[in-house]
Amino acid sequence: MRSSFLQIIESRRNCDCITLIICLCAHVLYQFFAYRQTGTLGFPLDDSWIHQTYARSLAQTGQWAFVPGIPSAGSTSVLWTLLISPVFLVSNDARIWTYILGMLSLFAGAAGASRLIPAGKPAHALAVSAAVALEWHLVWASASGMETMLFAALVVWFWVWVLSQYTSGYTWQQGLLLGLFGGGLFLARPEGIVAAGIAGAAWLIRSRGRMRDRILWAASAAFGLAAILLPLFMFNSAIGDTLFPNTFYAKQTEYALLWNLPLIGRLFDQFRVVFVGAQVLLIPVLVLSIWQAARRGPHELWLYLPLVWCVSHLVLYAIRLPVTYQHGRYAMPVIPVLLAYGMMAVLRLANPGAGKRGVRMLSMAWLASTAVLFPSTLVVLGAPAYSRDVDFIELEMVATARWLADNTLETDLIAAHDIGAIGYFAEVPLLDLAGLVSPDVIPFMTDPERLGAYVVESGADYLVVFPRWNRSYRKMVSAPVFQAVWSSDRMPGYRQYADLGPMTVYRVLP
């Protein structure tokens, strides 16, 4: 039986098929846990419903708008919204398609990770892809309805391509492809441009070539990048007077208070969150392999360029958006790269057939622990976390959105901080206090007096927020002009998961 299995995994196609099956099983496990908890298929983030709403609007009205008739640049991932939208041409529900896209993104990330580092044996490649497919953060991301796993997969394949070009010189075709790839990463998430920048800079530094070839290469890369980004920037500027999506500015403003925390603490939090799980076992061998590569010379260090991006990505978030909520979803895209390098380090350094008993026992223990912990954390940690997160969104955001759909007029203006489910289910005029589709609120979104006055002066009929979201909201909802009329804890079977709410609907008194 063992020899038959080895024969099967000798084929790269067979390894990919096994990986696809693992990804599918992991998804089914998460959906089973969530459905058992909630009795429905949902998403663990309110932002997921934002993508659904933008995609539906694009397909059914041809507008890039969250609120019909009002174009807005509130979608962080243009590419993800575009991929979801075709389903709304034939159906009013794209959840299943979104899950399939997420699962395929997980498979693409796993398959790419197994190709990131040359594997000595076919079994090694399968071990890397299986680790990615079973990593609980990544399964959560792929089932979240968000672009996180798509972005992670694209970055992995970008680095696979970059490393394959190590021995090549400078050609305009190569530069053009780099620019187009970088633009595609930007469409998946704006910070994708960092990976393209690191690759481009390293390319120019490592190679020696004629100045004319370098200039042509750089010009081609710039052209490819501009071909994708300029139309996007022009669109964003036309509808929102900004180059980047509104989320880019709104999130940083909302969490600017965290910049007062020590930078070393913010850095530690970003790095810590990506190692919650079985991958914590990979830290020692990962550090050791990097040290050994540095001693072998520049050629080996080039192969570790993706890790430079990992560090840069985490440092960037520690500096500009130091949040780790929702299991660190902004940090998750680096996990497939870390797993690829960490797993290959384990497989290369472990020697279960060593003559020394201590080395042999340690190697066997390390390999066995790694093999057991990835599926274990998926079942024990990941699946329950996913089901709780979906339940939270269903009990708070979705329940509130459905109440608004049944109890408000189509012309009522709703001021809300979490607009995803409300926009999707209630389809009412919205005033977005988080700044995604109402960017004029961004400069004062943390000022309770100005925010409350803005709600009243805008003519909002209802205010919908978690009353304990932050200090500003606690103070704002205490004003007598806001009268509570409904809260999510009135729903049968309500369970409170966080000390934020319950989500409450306030009537705005004249």
pLDDT in tens, 365-406: 778 888 899 999 999 999 999 999 999 999 999 999 999 999
Is the pLDDT at 98 greater than 90, yes or no?
Answer: yes
Q: Where are the domains of the chain?
A: 2-350+358-387, 388-508
Q: What's the whole-number mean pLDDT along residues 88-98?
A: 96
Residue 1 confidence class, pLDDT cut points 50, 70, 90: very low
Which fold would CATH assign to domain 388-508? Rossmann fold (3.40.50)
Name which of 337, 381, 344 is nearest 109 in CA terms.
337
245 or 488, which is more confident: 488
* Nearest C-alpha neighbor of 61 from the set 26, 97, 93, 85: 85
Residue 63 CB coordination number (10 Å) = 15
307-354 tens-digit pLDDT? 999 999 999 999 988 999 999 999 999 999 999 999 988 888 776 666
The per-residue pLDDT for range 237-262, each reduced to its tens digit, is: 887 777 777 777 777 777 877 888 99
**Which comes out higher in pLDDT, residue 5 or 82?**
82
Q: Is the pLDDT of residue 204 over 90?
A: no
Q: What confidence score (pLDDT) does residue 132 get?
A: 97
**How far is 6 from 119, CA to CA, in rounded Å?**
15
The residue with greater pLDDT, 285 or 421, is 421
Question: Residue 298: its pLDDT value, please?
Answer: 67
| Helix 335-349 and helix 148-164, axial crossing angle in degrees, nearest 10 | 50
Angle at 502 between CA 497 and CA 506, to 5 degrees: 165
Separation CA 220–CA 197 (nearest Å): 14
State the pLDDT confidence band at 193, using cuts at 50, 70 and 90. very high
Task: Please tell me the predicted confidence (pLDDT) of residue 339.
Answer: 96
List the structure tokens of 224.
């490819």
DSSP, res 431: E
Residue carrying structure tokens 């990770």: 113
- pLDDT over 90 at 93, yes or no: yes
